[in-house]
Amino acid sequence: MPTVHRENGFILFIYPGDHGQPHVHVLKAGGQAKIFIGVEGESPTFDWVSDEMSDKDARRALELVRENKAKLLEGWRRYCE
């Protein structure tokens, strides 16, 4: 599982060969989330968030995906297309 971004305890990674819409998996403090990156003109959205991830961490994870969208899409294309 290649890590495509790390910041302040958040780990964003992609499963190689994963299918479906471009997305990343996010880990933080025992919590997990799956976030759709969104393509041109689309904002990132949650697919799911585990009960172990705080609301604050979930909001920050979504912000991180928004802030690093181009880098994450590049990673998705490298590992999944």
Q: How confident is the model at residue 81 (pLDDT cuts 50, 70, 90)?
A: confident
Give me the pLDDT at residue 8, please: 97
Give me the pLDDT at residue 58, please: 98
Give me the pLDDT at residue 1, please: 81
Tens digit of pLDDT for each residue in 27-76?
999 999 999 999 888 999 999 999 999 999 999 999 999 999 999 999 99
In a 13 Å sphere around the CA of 78, the CA atoms on its Cβ side amount to: 13
Structure tokens at 39: 């393509």
Q: Where are the domains of the chain?
A: 3-80
